[in-house]
Amino acid sequence: MSHFSYQDGVLHAEGVSLADIARRFGTPTYVYSKAALSANFLSYADACRRHGRNDEAALVCYSVKSNSNIAVLDVLARLGSGFDIVSGGELLRVLAAGGSPRKVIFSGVGKSRDEMRLALSHDILCFNVESIPELHRLNEVAAELGKRAPVSLRVNPNVDAKTHPYISTGLKDNKFGVAYEDALATYRVAAALPHIEVTGIDCHIGSQLLDDAPLLEAVDKLIELIDTLAAEGITVHHLDIGGGIGIDYNGDKPVAVGDYLSRLFAKIDAWRAARHNGAPIKVLFEPGRSIVGNAGVLLTEVQFIKHGETKNFAIVDAAMNDLMRPAMYEAWHGVQTVKQAGEQPAQVYDVVGPVCESGDWLARARELSIAQDDLLAILSAGAYGMTMASNYNTRGRAAEVMVDGKDVHLIRKRELPAELFAEESLLP
């Protein structure tokens, strides 16, 4: 997280002190670095260009579910990003942020008729379809609107991503995608429907992958299927690899994006040269965590220090409703003090929140030099932090700010308790 560093003994986001942000905006607050966000996106886009892929030959579609704040989407849209969405609401966010619907792909297993109508009315790039019933529904909705819906099938290649079971999506027992063995028959159905236009093929095998070997194995299976489809006269114009590249949470060493794309494009180029006379195929990506994960931290304040019989607790004002990943996945997030040199002797603490659940913890067994009222930064919190936040215990969701050099922008104000029940009604 190179854009978060100590300057004069105080942790900064780019050129701004996190202590100053806490004084100005309170805690808990999500703090994002625009420079980190931009650099992470460009690691994909620039690698594509180095391998001769212009915007017509490759498209990086940021996974909106990882962080959907419209300021984040705006930064990426200005850099030329496409967007991978999983709901009609996410499409509306992309449009509000200035994103082009012609760069939007719509994933997800349970698209409603209204969501299909919305997406078709904006002429999105493609629907990633995950079942035959979805194909029939989309065909019916497109017929009502007098349109043909562009589709790719999300094929489940049954490749083990070797990641947490909750974020593994490419195995036979996952709910996602069309089974590899059923893909050909499903494409035949799609090609026969009058209001469906087959445009691509898609897969996504999981998240937080440190090694690209499973991704490249999945690509081999998709290539084999594309050749089978071509023999039947079904032409695929784009190959969507999905996302999944991980980030460093705890000394993890994820594959470098540039190295992964070099191996990927070499594989694709060799295949096209050998079997398709060098004819190009557009390549799509759906990264999320690797773009925004290490671009953000969760800033929180120690409320109390509690020394128990077997454990010490640092009780902070952020909680599982703000950052769900530790409670849901037992995920590791680094913790740093905002002031580098603490005055207290270092002790081992569990960092926990005020929510009335034993699962309300953010970090376990961390050696920290802290006192009441000190500030902590929960690291690598840019992805699946705010988007998974809730109002459990009638807690307003945190504020969000974006740092741009020495400037700070409030991009989402803190929710107030009264706002949480403003839409509720008493009985007469």
286 is in an annotated binding site: yes
Cα 345-346-349 angle, rounded to 5 deg: 130
Q: How far is residue 362 from each of residues 272, 323, 377, measured CA to CA in Å?
A: 48, 7, 11
| DSSP per-residue codes, 358-369 | TT-EEEEEEEE-
Q: Token digits for 348?
A: 């081992």
Give the helix/strand (H/E) hosting 119.
Answer: helix 113-121
**Cα–Cα distance, 193 to 135 (Å, whole number):** 8
**Cα–Cα distance, 13 to 36 (Å, whole number):** 10
Backbone phi, then psi, for 267, in 5-degree steps? -65, -45
Pairing mode of beta strands 347-352, 361-368: antiparallel
Other Cβ atoms closer than 10 A to 48: 19
Say if CB 424 and CB 102 are below 8 A apart.
no
Q: Which of 277, 345, 415, 403 is nearest to 14 (CA)?
A: 403
357 is in an annotated binding site: yes
Helices (H), 309-352: 325-329
244 is in an annotated binding site: yes
Give the helix/strand (H/E) hosting 78.
Answer: helix 70-78
Q: Token digits for 41?
A: 């996106």
Q: Token digits for 314?
A: 């640092």
The answer to whether residue 48 is catalytic is no
Say if CB 75 and CB 37 are below 8 A apart.
yes
**Cα–Cα distance, 284 to 266 (Å, whole number):** 15
287 is in an annotated binding site: yes
Single out the catalytic residue among 48, 126, 203, 356: 356
101 is in an annotated binding site: no
**Cα–Cα distance, 408 to 401 (Å, whole number):** 7
3-state secondary structure of 351: strand
Helices (H) and strands (E) in the chain, counts: 12, 21
Cα 209-213-218 angle, rounded to 5 deg: 95
384 is in an annotated binding site: yes
**Cα–Cα distance, 326 to 320 (Å, whole number):** 8
Specify binding-site residues for substrate. 289, 325, 329, 357, 384
Enumerate the active-site residues.
Answer: 356
Specify binding-site residues. 244, 286-289, 325, 329, 357, 384
Specify binding-site residues for pyridoxal 5'-phosphate. 244, 286-289, 384
